[in-house]
Amino acid sequence: MNLTRRRLLELTTISGAATLLGGRFAFAQESQVLRIGLSTYPPHFRPWVNVGWSGHMVSSLINRNLISYNPEGKLVGELAESWENTAPTTWRIRLRDAKFHDGSPVTAADVEWTIAAIRTDGSGAYMFDALKPIKAVNVIDDRTFELETDGPLAIVPALLAYPFFAILKAESTSEEDYGIGAGPYRIVAAEKGVSIELEPNEHYFKEGIPPLKGVVVTPYIDENARVAALTAGDVDLIDYVPWSAMEAISANKDLALHKVDSGAFMFLTFNGNGPFADPRVRQAVAFGLRREEFVKSIFFGFGAPMTGLPRSSATPYYREEQAKFWGYDPERAKALLKEAGHENGLEVTLLSSSQYSMHRDTAVLVQAQLAEIGIKVNLLMPDWATRVSMGNNGAGDFQVQGNALDIIDPDATHTLVDPTLSPTYLRSRNFEIEGLSALYAAGRQELDPAKRVEIYQQADQKVLDGTSMCGLAYRATGYATRASIKDFGMLPDQLSVFSATGFDKLKFG
């Protein structure tokens, strides 16, 4: 054949088109394999170390806790079939007939080994401190054990529902550091920063679950790239949907937005070695902010004003008047400042970070709004790593924070609101709210639910009056999926960031 230039051009065009069309089909979805676009690649798969909310998603796909939450926020058994408080310091837990990935049964000895491994010095486990009140694990039989605590401890079931408290097969971490779990999927291949491939665990204890043939997790660190991957059909599910994209995703008939408005939250903490030692100045800040503007301008309307402590309305610990305590009242704010001796205003420094837009924009808005009541705010906004370090060293008169809760139990707020706990970048310091620590201690020990409600209401009121934290806005937690994904459920309120515990049921419609 005589290859002319024209012929070469034709052939190039045809082969180019074929490649593109071929590509269209090449990245089409493999049947019944869920493709997840994750906001980060977990630094590792060790199940007990906190690897963040995105890392928790992978952990939830391969591991199971003893107890978890249902979409209504109620504690439900996972590997645990039942639990009861048999004596003030004893909790008896009965295991299901569940199996690990290798088909071996989940036994009380495995739970005992897991707890011992978490409590080993230097384990880096998230639950290392939280499990300190557990004095002993007594194995009764293969499927029954008792937890003995060093005093009455009401939060034991909630402790067992904490993220990063997966039960592994005893000694299984000696081969792979992520061990052998009992989750709905198991890892078959993982290339750091590229993808994680999972296949179903045929021994999973829930009947007919998981319904999928597999899961492929691909990290998309950039939020726009993540949304683009979903829109282009490269993936079926993404986490951390940026608020700026929520409206467009809602309007797209091929996609579904799953969100909880009262998810994680933004708040302020105070350093008591300056003007914020005076509770009236802290209260002035709390009453001088228009929180709707935070929701609208930073979270594109996807969130809710945070006018009290983060208490789920589905629990008895929720009180309407406490939840709406910090309304916008500039006159009251000015009066409080005057009362505290700052009628001519004051100048303070706010520590935030320029690295994340929600932290940066929150600081800018706080600065603008507090100027209206006579507080001049100077901003200190380094990158995140520096901000954490400066925060730990006590920099700034007050700080912008973002967080969620790990459990629904009211005790979960203790680390956020008690300034007498060890000083870290995440909470107020250098002042005390009288009686607060004692109330939290009493709440943890009180086994009578009605009395616990009373105790935490008192504690909450102390926090509100003393303003050891100042709520700003809840930000919506969002996942987005192809419309064909079914049985997607989210956990309520602040737990919504851990909704992946229910992803074992996900299927294609």
Instruction: Tell me the closest approach of the beta carbon of residue 104 to other proteins, in angstroms.
Output: 28
**With 0-12 CB in 10 A as exposed, 13-18 as middle and 19+ as buried, what is 147?**
buried
In angstroms, what is the minimal distance from the CB of 51 to other proteins? 6
Measured from the CB atom, is 209 or 379 closer to other proteins? 379
Shortest gap between Cβ of 424 and other proteins (angstroms)? 5
In the complex, minimum distance from the CB of residue 124 to other proteins, in angstroms, rounded to a whole number: 7
Give the binding site for other proteins (CB under 8 A).
19-20, 22-24, 26-27, 43-44, 50-53, 55, 121-122, 124, 126, 128-129, 191-194, 218-222, 224-225, 228-229, 231-234, 264, 355, 382-386, 388-390, 392, 401-404, 415, 422-427, 497
- Is residue 177 within 8 Å of residue 123, measured between CB atoms? no
* DSSP-assigned letter for residue 250: H
In the complex, the smallest distance separating the C-beta of residue 128 from other proteins, rounded to whole angstroms, is 7
Query: What DSSP state is assigned to residue 422?
Result: P
3-state secondary structure of 174: helix
Q: Does residue 242 come out as left (phi exceeding 0), alpha (psi in the -120 to 50 range) or beta?
A: beta
Query: Whole-angstrom distance between the N-terminal and C-terminal Cα of the chain?
Result: 52
Closest by alpha carbon to 61, among 486, 504, 495? 504
User: What's the CA gap between 501 and 498, in Å, rounded?
Assistant: 7
Nearer to other proteins, 70 or 393 (CB): 393
Closest approach of other proteins to the CB of residue 368, in Å: 25
By C-beta, is 210 or 242 nearer to other proteins?
Answer: 242
Segment holding 269, helix H or strand E? strand 265-270
Strand partners of residue 139: 145
- The nearer residue to other proteins, 121 or 207, going by C-beta atoms, is 121
Report the residue number, 240 or 276, with the smaller CB distance to other proteins.
Answer: 240
294 versus 425: smaller Cβ distance to other proteins: 425
Complete DSSP assignment for 51-93? -HHHHHHHHHHH---SEEE-TTS-EEESSEEEEEEEETTEEEE
Q: Distance (Å, rounded) from C-alpha 417 to C-alpha 420?
A: 9
Q: Which is nearer to other proteins, 3 or 26 (CB)?
A: 26
Distance of closest approach, residue 317 Cβ to other proteins, in angstroms: 21
Q: Compute the least distance from the CB of residue 449 to other proteins, in Å.
A: 27
Do 491 and 71 touch, CB atoms closer than 8 A? Answer: yes
Q: Which helix (H) or strand (E) holds 305?
A: strand 303-305
The smaller minimum CB distance to other proteins, of residues 93 and 158, is found at 158
What minimum distance in Å lies between the beta carbon of 196 and other proteins? 13
Nearest CA-CA partner of 342 in 278, 398, 405 = 278
Read off the DSSP letter of residue 437: H
What is the rounded distance in angstroms from the CA atom of residue 32 to the CA atom of residue 198? Answer: 12
Between 13 and 424, name the residue whose CB sits nearer to other proteins: 424
Q: Is the dihedral of CA 54, 405, 136, 85 positive or negative?
A: negative
Shortest Cβ 244–other proteins spacing (Å): 14
Please say which residue, 172 or 403, places its beta carbon nearer to other proteins: 403
Distance of closest approach, residue 212 Cβ to other proteins, in angstroms: 20
**Nearer to other proteins among residue 70 and residue 392 (C-beta):** 392
| Residues linked to residue 267 through DSSP beta bridges, in sequence order | 401, 471
For 409, phi and psi rounded to 5 degrees? Answer: -55, 140
Identity of the residue, 265 or 431, whose beta carbon is nearer to other proteins in the bound complex: 265
Distance CA 340, CA 276 (A): 10
Residue 345 Cα distances to 131, 160, 290, 368, angstroms: 46, 48, 19, 14
Find the shortest distance in angstroms from Cβ 213 to other proteins: 18
Burial of 85 (0-12, 13-18, 19+ CB in 10 A): middle
Task: Please tell me whether residue 394 adopts helix, strand or coil conformation.
Answer: coil
Alpha carbon separation from 59 to 96, 486, 499 (Å, rounded): 20, 21, 12
- Least distance to other proteins, CB of residue 367, Å: 22
Angstrom distance (rounded) from CA 137 to CA 145 = 7
Buried b (16+ CB within 10 A) or exposed e, 115-143: bebbbeeeeebbbbebbebbeebeeeeeb
Residue closer to other proteins by CB (options 69, 287) is: 69
